[in-house]
Structure 1
Amino acid sequence: LLNSNLTSELLYENFLKTLLYSIISTVPSCVFLFINGTMLFTLRSKPVFRETCRFILLFNLLLGDTLQLAQSQIHFLLSVCRVKMVYSLCIILSMLANLTNLISPLTLVLMPLEQYVAVCYPLRHASIITVRNTAAAVIAVWAVSSLNNLTRVLLFFKFPFEKMELYDLCSNIALILGVMTAEYDRAYTCVLFVSAGLAVIFSYVGVIVAAKSASTDKALARKARHTLLLHLVQLGLSLSSTIYYPLMMSLSKVLTRMVFLWIQNAFYVTFIIFPRCMTSLIYGLRDQTIRPVLLYHLSCRLKVIIRG
């Protein structure tokens, strides 16, 4: 009877700890999903947002961040609650996560180039950066991300299916398909972030050089420089999120479950939630065109929630 009581107390204590871990991550995730959702609605609420190229790119960037945040939260809860599922289902969830994970850095390759053209070629900006060309670029971003996923599916076919089993962690920690996949992921991530970094640096240097010209709009050039620096910060935050799963995989081998869950929760908020909420905070509050509309929609939705 004593052993039964101790077991019940331990189970109850573990349940409370798991509930606490889930709440700590879920509450900020829901808050930022609400803000991101309102921001997405704002960017589709007026023709000026739907027909301006930089806002179209911003919508795509925010959409990728929002989908990735939702997907990451689902994975995190499955991991904390130790939900078991077959390997094939984990693969499907991982593919969806990888699809959205690449949208932000790929979009960050395009956004600095748009700023560069706006400052360095103001007379040709309207003819180069058109809504049609921007839509084609967005489609290309999703196509490249989908192609990456297709490659991972082909690598998955090399996995020995007879070894499939139930997995506790439906996340990238559990989805190690072999050395070939790990090397491919590292190579793809390096190429992607180096490309985005070069795009930002090239655009920043071009804007600085153009700002010295007497014909350049100084205010526009200064604003572009600040925006490009923010792009670089966003790129760094996105890159930091790529170390989350390898880091967790290493820590899970040397730490006890309770200590690992505390560290996992803290790193999850730092490396996953925080980078995915920066787009709304940076652009929603900084952009003079978006800010009043965003605050209006946020206040209206909060009133609806409170009354409901």
Structure 2
Amino acid sequence: MAANSSEVGGEILMRKIDERVIVIQVLIAVFLCINLLLIRTFFMKDFFYTTMRYIFFAVTLLSDCLILILSNMLLLFQFYNFTTQMWLCVIIYTVSSVYTSVTPFTLTAMTLERYVAICMPLRHAELCSRSNSVNCILIIHGLSSANAIVLLSMFFASATSNIYTEERICSKVIFILYRWQNDIYSAVGQIYFLIMVITIIFCYVEIMKVAKAASGEDKKSTQKGLRTVILHTFQLLLCLIQLWCPFIEAAVLKVDLMLYINVRYFNYIIFYLSSRCLSPLVYGLRDEKFFHALKSCLWSNLKTTILPLK
């Protein structure tokens, strides 16, 4: 009787996992389609890829697409206990780790761009040129690589040579062999967190000062910039909470498997997917120029796909 109950419980658990995996696949497919449409819109006008804030926007879209694909792959590996060789996991983890950090760093850079546009308008064209945008993107990728480099360096220094041919379920946890490695990794993440939070607070306070002093059209433009910074802050907060998710999930796993699955599902939906669907809202819908270009792109797609069928 106990064996039958165990089998029934296992079947219910797998059915629940399968249903959630299907929901996640649908959400990811929708977000990828939206992001790809926005990326296509970005390349429609020269103005977009010569303006810093739109270049940064495109970087977040590309980063989010890559993260959605890789994180979904890792999630499926864990749900269905699919193992990979360590060398392949190192590659997947490295790319995933770098681009998980690229989005919050780029959001911070976008906030700084709004600060320059509102608080230093006379220097905006000079500081936010296309060449400086490329330099910023390189710096962002360099900073985003630091966490992965630190963790992998500690792993390579501590691991035995035969570990690279072993097959395991790919996740960040397998690269942490000792507790001190996790402490160093967490310390780097906290430093990133503090830098981003201080930058966001500074920009918000300075833009608020300008908003209070402005009048007429300037006040309206400044208020819009302030709302954009608030949305960036909320999106950045969701991204940064991801740093805590693995630690929360590891602690919950020791308590109860079903609770772990529920927490992991909640974290993935709220902090991975939701944070990455805000980019279309911030620039895809709220930005007037981009919104008009998006409508034009949608209309051209409709004309080429639906109208010929009539």
TM-score, length basis structure 1:
0.86
Instruction: Tell me the alpha carbon deviations over residues 182-226 of structure 1, each in whole angstroms, 9 at most, x when there is no partner.
Output: 122211211112111111111111112223446892122111111
**Alignment check: 8 A CA contact 1:85 1:166 kept:** yes
Deviation of 1:82 (Å)? 0.9
Aligned length: 303
How far does residue 137 in structure 1 lie from its aligned partner after superposition? 0.7
Aligned residue for 1:53? 52
Structural RMSD (CA): 3.0
Higher-RCO chain (CA-CA 8 Å, sequence separation at least 6): 1
Q: Which protein is richer in helix relative to its size? A: 2
Distance 1:74 1:41 in 2: 25
Aligned equivalent of 2:197: 197
**1:177 maps to what in 2?**
177
Task: Name the residue aligned to 2:111.
Answer: 112
2:291 alignment partner AA: R
2:267 is matched with 267
Measured at CA, do residues 20 and 211 of structure 1 come closer, stay the same or move farther in structure 2, by a change above 3 Å?
A: closer
1:128 Cα offset (Å): 1.9
Answer yes or no: is the 8 Å Cα contact 1:49–1:55 preserved in 2: yes
- The 2-side partners of 1:9 and 1:300 are apart by 52
Partner of 2:142: 143
- 1:232, CA displacement in angstroms? 1.0
AA of the residue aligned to 2:83: K
What corresponds to 2:206 in structure 1?
A: 206
Corresponding residue for residue 94 of structure 1: 93
Change (3 A) 1:80 1:203: same
The within-5 A match list for 1:186-265 is 186-213=186-213, 217-256=218-257, 258-265=258-265
Percent identity of paired positions between Structure 1 and Structure 2: 29
Quote the Cα distance in structure 2 between the aligned partners of 1:229 and 1:10: 45
Q: Which residue of 2 aligns with 1:63?
A: 62
Quote the Cα distance in structure 2 between the aligned partners of 1:124 and 1:178: 49
Partner Cα separation in structure 2 for residue 59 and residue 68 of structure 1? 14
Q: How many angstroms apart in 1 are the aligned matches of 2:10 and 2:253?
A: 21
Deviation string for 1:56-93 (max 9, x for gaps)? 11111222222212211111111111102233332322
Contact 1:21 1:80 in 2 (8 A): no
How many angstroms apart in 2 are the aligned matches of 1:88 and 1:27? 30
**1:9 CA displacement:** 7.9
SS at match of 2:69: helix
- Cα deviation code 1:96-128 (max 9, x no counterpart): 111101101211221121111111221221122
2:284–2:290 CA contact under 8 A, matched in 1: yes
User: Structure 1's 300 and 273: CA in aligned 2 closer, same or farther, altered over 3 A?
Assistant: farther
**TM-score, scaled relative to structure 2:** 0.86
Structure 1 residues 152 and 263, CA, compared in 2 at 3 Å: closer, same or farther? closer
Q: Distance in 1 between matches of 2:210 and 2:191?
A: 28
Kindly indicate whether the alpha-carbon contact (under 8 Å) linking 1:90 and 1:175 is maintained by their aligned counterparts in 2: no
Structure 2, unaligned runs of 5 or more: none
- In structure 2, relative to structure 1, the CA distance for the partners of 1:20 and 1:125 (3 Å cut) is same
Counterpart code for 1:70: I
